[in-house]
Structure 1
Amino acid sequence: MTGRYLYAQFTAEKGKGDTVADLLRGYGDDVSAEPGNVRFDAHRLADDPDSFFVYEEYADDAAFRAHLATSHCAAFNEAFAPHVVGGGSTLTWLNPVS
């Protein structure tokens, strides 16, 4: 398997959904500009706008490790943590079916 695929789920603290959405917009631009990033799609759930789903795809494990080492990743996580339930997201790793 070459690519790395994951999704993150999280819920904004009450009244913080728009703040989280704003943080995600800027972060998505930074992540999408990384050479090893294939896809970064952030969404709000239609029936619960305080809940979010982010799909990420990286070219390989090295690209994902490089992503984690970026200054914008650290800055985002620090800014993001106080605005989401539990201080972070739940990550789920995926393997392609074919």
Structure 2
Amino acid sequence: MEKQIVLYAEFTARPGARAEVETLIRTYADAVQAEPGNIVFDVYTRAEAPDRFVVFEVYRDRPAFDSHIGAAEGAAFNRALGPLIVGGASELSFLDLLEAAL
């Protein structure tokens, strides 16, 4: 079985753009959750910083993730999101599962 791709993305809405970012990410989440290789696409905000969004993502395998990255919806989302967030792009952190000792 191929390894799942697990990551989280973080970005901060520019002052005054939080509502627009929230609407945009909610719509995008619906599209991603419908992708056949997506397992989890959950959107959070930081409790101490509500303009800071955190998206936790899990994909079945590398081909599923590659399909997600190549989807037209993602390109459109990133074009729309860029001007609304600090730094213009999400910060991605890929995760590896710490396997339990046997």
TM range (shorter): over 0.9
Name the amino acid aligned to 1:90.
Answer: E
State the Cα distance separating 1:46 from its structure 2 match.
1.5
Which stretches in structure 2 are left out of the alignment for 5+ residues? none
1:97 & 1:24 partners in 2: Cα distance? 29
Give the RMSD, CA atoms, in angstroms: 0.8
**Unaligned ranges ≥5, structure 1:** none
TM-score relative to the length of structure 2: 0.93
Question: Paired residue for 1:4?
Answer: 5
% same residue: 44
Matching of residues 7-26 of structure 1 within 5 Å? 7-26=8-27
Structure with the greater alpha carbon radius of gyration: 2
Q: 1:83 is matched with which residue? A: 84
**Displacement after TM superposition at 1:44 (Å):** 1.1
The count of aligned residue pairs is 98
User: 1:33 deviation in Å?
Assistant: 0.2
TM norm structure 1: 0.96
**C-alpha distance after superposition, 1:27-76 (max 9, x if no partner):** 00000000000000011112211111110000001000000111100110
